[in-house]
A = this chain, B = another copy of it.
Amino acid sequence: MTGPTNKSEPHRRTRRDHATETAEDYVEAVAEIITEREVCRLVDLAKYFAVSHVTANRIVARLQKEGLLQTEPYQPIELTPKGKRLADRCRQRHEIVYRFLLSLGIDQKTAAIDAEGIEHHVSPKTLRKLEQLVDQSG
């Protein structure tokens, strides 16, 4: 017995992936912006994701409550240790997926777009395989 049914398990996993996707993309973005411009402000995130600053603000508040981000009113946004660890993991996974697509001969822009969505649905097992194939083709 594998659970409810065979058919439903992939969909339950996909829903779970989507539930954590925003957190993953935001900590990754905060880390990247801090690396590039020292500090990460709300406006940077709003531009980065092409959403209103209000939407970005609410998501930052949620992720702070979840212990991934840290910020004070009107201050820059920082990563907690937990957020930093998640950001590092996500950046690595993202890069592996991106470089794998490049290794297939996909152009950079298409690879960047596809990788942004695909990354959240790649299991650890599949990720190891992609990494191995990227290394071989490198």
Residue ranges of A at the interface with B (Cβ–Cβ < 8 Å): 4-5, 7-14, 17-18, 25, 47-50, 101, 104-107, 110-118, 120-123, 125-126, 129-130, 133
Contact = CB atoms under 8 A, between A and B. Distances in A.
A46 B122 CA distance: 25
A16 to B, nearest CB: 10
Contact of A126 (B12, B47, B101): B101
A59 B120 CA distance: 24
B106 A49 contact: no
Contacts of A9: 50, 113
Nearest to A3: B50
B133 A123 contact: no
Contacts of A115: 10
